[in-house]
Amino acid sequence: MGKETALGIDIAKEKFDVRLEVNGKAKKQQFANSPDGYKKLVAWLNLLKVERVHACMEATGTYGEALAEYLYVLGHLVSVVNPARIKGHAQSQMKRHKTDELDAEVIRHFCETQTPELWHPVKPEIKELRSLVRRRDDLVTMRTQESNRLQSGELTDGVRKSIDSMLEHLEQQITELEDQIQQHIEQHPDLKHQVELITSIPGLGQRTAIKLVAELMDIAGYTDARSLAASVGVTPSQHRSGTSVNGASHISKVGNGALRGALWWPAVSAMQHNPVIRNFVKTLQKAKKHNFAIIIAVIRKLLHLVYGVIKNDTPFDTNWATSKA
């Protein structure tokens, strides 16, 4: 067979839209985001006599992971792309209307013309770690909500007793999950080594390091530090109109929002305890950057340092990091 057929997939929680071209004719369809929907997609491709596709979808949490794995196992090529790249491609093609069908076509065209890097399934041990970490985070959020309810005004004795009981149960569950996470790390030397490398960076503690390993999944697999930062959504995004009018720069915010939030306080800590970050912040302050922009820049810098220690398999070194600044 010749070149694979580009298949654009716009994924959502309950469904996904697809677009491809067969003999110059556009074909589109919609399927349920479920195992039955995946089978129907393959049956549809067989009906169109499409043997192998290069499927391309945006990285949207876990919505597309099962479909990506399903197609990968069947021998198709799969790319999971940062939404910022798709958005940029749409803007370059002057696509102004926002519909799922159009999104699938934009993704298809991006796949066909840009040949994005190929995706590979997450290692089982990282997938398990991510699941444990996300569950722990969910329970921590629930604990905060219940604690806030205790401060919400007058409560009956029955309600207060119920909240106290729930908080006790949540504390127990969180402790058990944290033990499971630690045991899982200990059982997988590669994960443990990555955590140790990341915690060698002043400002990044054990919990943050574990979350980075779980959410970024394959840090060494990124092409460069910028692409890693883009996956978290802390790369600059600048609006341009025409050829001469430039808007203010902002962060893209397209990426792992939970990870951005988790890095906020570590960034503040690094500003105090990491000499490389302290010098970096002084430069930004001299440039009259406001506090929010400085913290976002520090998060981006920390991700660059994370990429460096993992890619070079070497603990943080102030002199090396300064030379790469």
pLDDT digits (tens, 9 = 90+) for 88-129: 787 776 655 556 667 899 999 999 999 898 998 889 999 999
101 within a domain of the structure (yes/no) = yes
Domain end residue (candidates: 79, 114, 149): 114
pLDDT at 325 over 90: no
Q: Which domain holds residue 302?
A: 212-323
Say yes or no: 53 and 144 in one domain. Answer: no
201 within a domain of the structure (yes/no) = no
264 within a domain of the structure (yes/no) = yes
Say yes or no: 310 and 220 in one domain. Answer: yes
Mean pLDDT of the 310-321 span: 86
Per cent of the chain over pLDDT 70 is: 88
pLDDT one-digit tens code per residue, 207-219:
999 999 999 888 8
Task: Give the CATH number, domain containing residue 60.
Answer: 3.30.420.40
- What phi-psi label fits residue 145: left (phi over 0), alpha (psi between -120 and 50 degrees) or beta? alpha
Give the chain's mean pLDDT: 88
107 within a domain of the structure (yes/no) = yes
Mean pLDDT of the 221-232 span: 85
Please tell me which residue, 208 or 257, carries the higher pLDDT value: 208
The total number of structural domains that make up the chain = 3
The reported pLDDT for the residue numbered 98 is: 57
Per the CB < 8 A criterion, the answer to whether 44 and 83 are in contact is no
Domain end residue (candidates: 87, 114, 141): 114
Say yes or no: 170 and 228 in one domain. Answer: no
Report for 58-72, 102-116, 164-178, 305-319: range of highest mean pLDDT: 164-178
Mean pLDDT of the 10-19 span: 94
The reported pLDDT for the residue numbered 95 is: 59
pLDDT one-digit tens code per residue, 30-42:
999 999 999 999 9
Q: What is the dihedral of CA 293, 296, 300, 303, to 10 degrees?
A: 160
Query: Residue 27: which residues within 8 A CB-CB, separation 6 or more?
Result: 19, 20, 21, 48
pLDDT at 199 over 80: yes
Say yes or no: 316 and 223 in one domain. Answer: yes
Distance, CA of 281 to CA of 263 (rounded, Å): 16
The reported pLDDT for the residue numbered 273 is: 93
